[in-house]
């Protein structure tokens, strides 16, 4: 099974697919007890490259193939780069990704490089990278696969279909991290096509919260590098989705994000990356009622550096039973 089971709702044929979508919808008993809501986790880290981007990429790259493209490109905080690189490799297209130098998680960099993409480290942030690739594709026949590409939205809307098909009744609210604002736009479209209207609560990192402040942020900063974005491309759509669903856009601090990140891993057994934990940080901070789905957008293994910074240390041990006993039980 993959998201292509919804192909009659998608604008292209699956010309390149790695089996994306159909991700686990996991009940979260500990978070439910803490919040009084019925909390579910949509674990998008289970996609082929470890993030929700694959939903959009299978559709966008299928469309690029249909249009005869030979190369694809994106600006990225990491996950789009990893996904674009994988689908380019699979499709036999050239792939180029432009990432903010030193600001993407290690796993994502490893993926983009291993898939054979040309990885360009920009001495600038994501917003500058996106502005430059948009100019570049005006001058060259390269397909842009950022979420400004409508096919990305089409693919990503299937997550909303899956949630509705996976629950007896649709959710009352969705909690979702917001960066460039393509994903909240996609969920809104998916729920709309399904004929349901949960409240959409978007969460941004405090240091990268342009939608919360109502103005672009020139120098966005957050430990959640995936959402270190100061001028979201889908600004209007995201605000429209939030307002029309009677949801809210709010900020969570890095400390709150890291706290939710640890709670998810240590109490629910679900390891997501820091940006994803912003959805749960928002739920814990602001609350929500009824049946609530938190979108966990990317896998925890994407960013081992932040994990090891946050976790307790390993216990060194000599190879004898007494020492092992002491280490294990002590």
Q: Which of 174, 178, 249, 260 binds ligand AN7 (CB under 6 A)?
A: 178
Bridging pattern class, strands 94-100 and 71-75? parallel
Bridging pattern class, strands 249-252 and 199-205? parallel
Q: Which residues pair with 200 in a beta bridge?
A: 174
For residue 284, state whether it binds ligand AN7 (rule: CB under 6 A). Answer: no
| DSSP result, 154-212 | HHHTHHHHHHHHHSSS--SEEEEE-SSSHHHHHHHHHHHHHT---EEEEEEEGGG-HHH
For residue 107, state whether it binds ligand AN7 (rule: CB under 6 A). Answer: no
* Interface characters, 130-149, with ligand AN7 (x: CB under 6 A): -----------------x--
* Interface characters, 57-76, with ligand AN7 (x: CB under 6 A): -------------------x
Query: Kind and range of the H or E element at 276?
Result: helix 274-286
Closest approach, Cβ 75 to ligand AN7, in A, equals 7
* Rg of the chain (C-alpha set): 20
- Residue placing its CB nearer to ligand AN7 in the complex, 194 or 235: 235
For residue 47, state whether it binds ligand AN7 (rule: CB under 6 A). Answer: no
Q: Which of 21, 171, 182, 207 binds ligand AN7 (CB under 6 A)?
A: 182
- Residue placing its CB nearer to ligand AN7 in the complex, 38 or 144: 144
Closest approach, Cβ 243 to ligand AN7, in A, equals 17
* Interface characters, 295-314, with ligand AN7 (x: CB under 6 A): --xx----------------
From the list 6-14, 160-168, 173-181, 320-328, the region that binds ligand AN7 by CB under 6 A is 173-181
Query: Kind and range of the H or E element at 75?
Result: strand 71-75
Query: 192 with 200: CB under 8 angstroms?
Result: no
For residue 277, state whether it binds ligand AN7 (rule: CB under 6 A). Answer: no
From the list 30-38, 163-171, 251-259, 270-278, the region that binds ligand AN7 by CB under 6 A is 270-278
**DSSP 8-state class, residue 312:** P
CA distance 95 to 63: 15
């Amino acid at each position: 099974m993959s998201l292509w089971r919804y192909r009659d709702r998608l604008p292209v044929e699956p010309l390149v697919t790695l089996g994306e979508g159909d991700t686990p919808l996991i009940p979260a008993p500990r978070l439910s007890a803490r919040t009084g809501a019925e909390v579910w986790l949509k674990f998008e880290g289970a996609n082929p490259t470890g993030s929700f981007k694959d939903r959009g990429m299978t559709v966008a790259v299928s469309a690029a193939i249909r249009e005869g493209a030979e190369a694809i490109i994106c600006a990225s905080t990491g996950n789009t780069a990893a996904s674009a690189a994988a689908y380019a490799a699979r499709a036999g297209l050239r792939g180029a990704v432009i990432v903010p130098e030193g600001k993407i998680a290690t796993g994502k960099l490893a993926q983009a490089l291993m898939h054979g993409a040309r990885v360009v480290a920009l001495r600038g942030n994501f917003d500058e990278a996106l502005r430059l690739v948009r100019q570049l594709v005006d001058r060259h026949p390269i397909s842009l696969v950022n979420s400004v590409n409508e096919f990305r939205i089409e693919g990503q809307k299937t997550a909303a279909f899956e949630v509705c098909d996976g629950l007896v009744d649709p959710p009352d609210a969705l909690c979702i991290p917001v960066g460039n604002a393509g994903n909240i736009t996609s969920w809104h479209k998916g729920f709309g096509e399904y004929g349901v209207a949960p409240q959409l609560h978007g969460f941004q990192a405090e240091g990268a919260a342009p939608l919360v402040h109502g103005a672009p942020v020139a120098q966005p900063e957050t430990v959640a590098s995936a959402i270190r974005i100061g001028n979201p491309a889908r600004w209007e759509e995201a605000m429209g989705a939030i307002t029309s669903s009677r949801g809210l856009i709010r900020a969570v601090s890095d400390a709150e994000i890291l706290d939710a990140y640890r709670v998810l891993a240590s109490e629910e057994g679900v390891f997501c990356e820091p940006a994803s934990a912003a959805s749960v940080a928002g739920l814990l901070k602001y609350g929500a009622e009824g049946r609530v789905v938190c979108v966990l957008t990317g896998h925890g293994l994407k960013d081992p550096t932040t994990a090891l910074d946050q976790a307790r240390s390993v216990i060194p041990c000599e190879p004898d039973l007494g020492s092992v006993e002491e280490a294990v039980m002590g």
